Amino acid sequence: MNGKTKKLLSILLTCLLLFSLSAAAFAAETDVSDATRFVFSDDGITVTEGSFSGYKVKGTVLSVTDAGTYVVSGSCANGAIVVKKNVTGVTLVLDGLTLSASATAPVTCNKGSGVTIVAAAGSVNSLSDDKYNNDDVYTDETLYPDIENAVIKCKDGSNVTISGTGTINVNAYGKNGVKGGADLYEEDADGNYTDVLLSTASLTIEEVTLNVTIKHNYKDPEDATSYDGDAIKSEKALDILSGNITVSANDDGIKCDYTLNIGAAGTDGPTVNVTKAAEGIEGSVVNVYSGNIYVNASEDGINAANGDIADRSADFSYNQYGGYVYVNVTGGDALDSNGSATLAGGTLEVYAPSQGDGDPIDTEYGCIFDGATVLAVGHTMMQQSYAGAYVAFGGSAGRGGFGGFGGNTGGNIVTAGQTVTVTDASGNTVYTAKSAAPRTASYVVFASPSLVSGSSYTLNGSTSATAGSSSSGGFGPGGQQPGNPGEQPAPGGFENGVPGDVNGDGKVTTADARLALRQAIGLDVYASDSAEFLAMDVDRSGSVTTSDARMILRAAIGLEELGVPGDPPTPPDGEMPTPPDGEMPTPPGSGERPARP
C-alpha cells in the first residue's frame, strides 16, 4: 500500500468517525424533520405546516390541541402557548424564542397534559411575564381572567419535562418562575375534590441550561419588597436529573411539597446553583443522588419540611447518597430537617452564621453519618443526635456535646477565607474543604467513613479532638455528655426480643439505627428470618426501609416507644403514620377544594 493510499484511507476513516459522532449527537436531539413550525411576532404567528395539525392560532396565542412535535421561534412582546387540558404526547421545541406575556403565563400546560419542552441545540430562549401575573395582588377575575402565577405553569395532573441541550431563560415579574401542579382528583357537582385520582403530576428537568430569576414580587402594589415567589416550585414530584440549573429568588429557590430528587445513581447529575434565596432548597423529602449543588441563602439553606402537613414529622428527611453539596447561609440553619437526615454518600459542606440561632445541621429526629464526607461549620449546634463516625472541634464553654471534643471553648477556630483542613494523628491530610470558609466559625463537625473512633484528629493544624461514633445528646442545657463512646457493638446475638435492638446488647441505641439504615439502603444484607432483620423490621412490614431506621433512631433518643413484637410502633400524639415507600399523604380527599396559587 503506497503512501497516498494510506493517507487517503486515514482521511476517509477520520471522516467516518466524525460523521458517526455527529450522527450520535444528532440522534440525541429531538427529531423535528416533520414538525409543524410557528414563528411568533408582535403582529401574529406564521405557520409552516408539518405532519401535525393539532393546533389553533388566535392572534399571538398558540393553542395545542393534539399530540405532535411543534417548533416555536421568533419574538413577541405579548403572546402565549397553551397546551389544552388532557392533551398528551406533545413535544414543544423552543428554537430561538423570545416570548413575553401580560397577566398570564407565556407557556401553560393545562390539567392532565403531557408535555416535553425542549430547548433546541445551540438555541437561547427567553420567557417572561409581567407584574399582573399574580392573583394575590390582582384579584379582579373580570379584568385578569387568565392569571397563572408563573412563567411556565404546569397545572394539576400534568406531566412535564423540561429538557434539551439549549438554554431557557425564565424571568418572573409576577410570582413564580416554573411551577408544577399537584395530583388531579375528580370533582363533584359542587366543585369539591373527591378521592378519585384522575392523574398523578410530575415535573422533570434534565440536560437543559435553565436560568430562572424572580425579578419582582408583590403582595401589595404599594409594597414591592414583600417577598412572594419561588424560582422553581412543584406541588408533587420534582426530579432534577441533569443539566445546568441556576436560580435566583427572594423566597424559595427550589421548592417541592413532596419528594425532590436531585441527580440519579450512576450519573454525573446536574449542576444546581441557587445564587440568591430566602430558603435555598426545600422539600418534604430531599434526596441527592449525584451532581454539584451550590446554595446561597439568607435563611435555611436546605430544608426538609412541609408546614401544610405538619410542623415536624418522621416522614420529613434529607438523604444524600452521592454528589457534592455546598451550603452557605447568612441566617437560619444550613441543613434543617423537621424530620431526620441520612448522609450515606457524596460530600456535604455547610457553613452557618458566626452568631445567632442558625446551626450547621439541625434535625428533629437525628442525623446518621453512614458513608458521606461531611464538613459542618458554624458557631454552635442545637440539641442534636448523631449515629456514625464523626469528630467535633470547638464549641461553647459549659455545654454538653460529643465524646472527646476539646481544644477550644468558644473562640474562633476558623477564619474567613480559610480553607478548612483535617489531618490525622500522623499529620496526613484526611480532608481539604472544596470551598473557602465565608466567615469565622467556632465550631466544626467532620464526618467521614475513613475516621477511626477513638483516634485523634486536628483542624487547621491547631485544634485537636477525638473521633466518636454516636451521640444521644447535643449542645444545649441537659445535653448528654457521653465521652468517647468507643466502637459500636458488632451485630448479632439478638436474644432478648427487644424491637429495634439490632446488635443484641439489650437496648435500642443510635448504633441500631445505623445498622437498620445500612440494611435499608443495601449496604448490608441480613436474611429475612435472622434475628437482626426481625429487630430492624419494627413496623412488621416484612421489609426494612428507611422508615424503620428513623423509628429506631427516634426510639434511641426517646421520641418514640417501639412496643413489643406483634404490636404496631407507637408514635407520639399528633404524629402521622409513615406511608409506604416514604410517600407523603395526599391532601385532597377531604371534600374541600384546596387553594391553588
In angstroms, the CA 38 to CA 253 distance is 32
SS (H, E, C) 195-240: EEEEECCEEEECCCEEEEEECCCCCECCECCCCCCCCEEECCEEEE
Q: Is the dihedral of CA 289, 282, 514, 369 positive or negative?
A: positive
**Do 306 and 584 contact (CB within 8 A), yes or no?**
yes
Tens-digit pLDDT profile for residues 449-491: 999 989 999 999 999 999 876 554 332 222 222 222 223 333 3
More confident residue, 128 or 22: 128
Other Cβ atoms within 10 Å of 356 Cβ, number = 13
Percent of the chain with pLDDT over 90: 58
Helix pair angle (546-556, 510-520), 10° resolution: 180
pLDDT at 69: 98
Other Cβ atoms within 10 Å of 13 Cβ, number = 10
**Do 491 and 532 contact (CB within 8 A), yes or no?**
yes
Tens-digit pLDDT profile for residues 527-567: 988 888 999 998 888 899 877 887 887 787 666 788 644 44
All residues at 6 or more sequence positions from 394 whose CB lies less than 8 Å from its CB, including other chains: 405, 407, 408, 410, 411, 413, 441, 442, 443, 444, 459, 463
pLDDT at 184: 93
Partners of residue 496 on adjacent β-strands = none
Average pLDDT, the chain: 82
Nearest to 323 by CA among 301, 291, 295, 370: 291
Evaluate if pTM is beyond 0.85.
Answer: no
Nearest to 321 by CA among 293, 290, 295: 290
The mean pLDDT of 366-377, rounded to a whole number, is: 92
- All three cell numbers of 271, joined, read 449542576
Tens-digit pLDDT profile for residues 235-259: 999 999 999 999 999 899 999 999 9
Burial 109-139 (b: 16+ CB within 10 A, else e): bbbbbbbbbbbbeebbbbbbbbbbbbbbbbe
**Do 421 and 459 contact (CB within 8 A), yes or no?**
yes
Q: DSSP per residue over 39-102, as a string?
A: EEETTEEEEE--S---EEEETTEEEE-SSEEEEEEEEESS-EEEEPTT--SEEEEEEEEEEE-S
pLDDT at 284: 95
In angstroms, the CA 486 to CA 466 distance is 10
**Do 95 and 73 contact (CB within 8 A), yes or no?**
yes
The contacts found for 50-54 with CB under 8 angstroms, 24 or more apart, are 54/87
Q: Between the CA atoms of 455, 460, 462 and 467, what dihedral angle is there, to the nearest 10 degrees?
A: -20
Other Cβ atoms within 10 Å of 425 Cβ, number = 12
Hey, what amino acid is at 413? I
Mean pLDDT highest for which of 182-186, 430-434, 460-464, 570-574?
Answer: 430-434
C-alpha gyration radius of the chain:
27
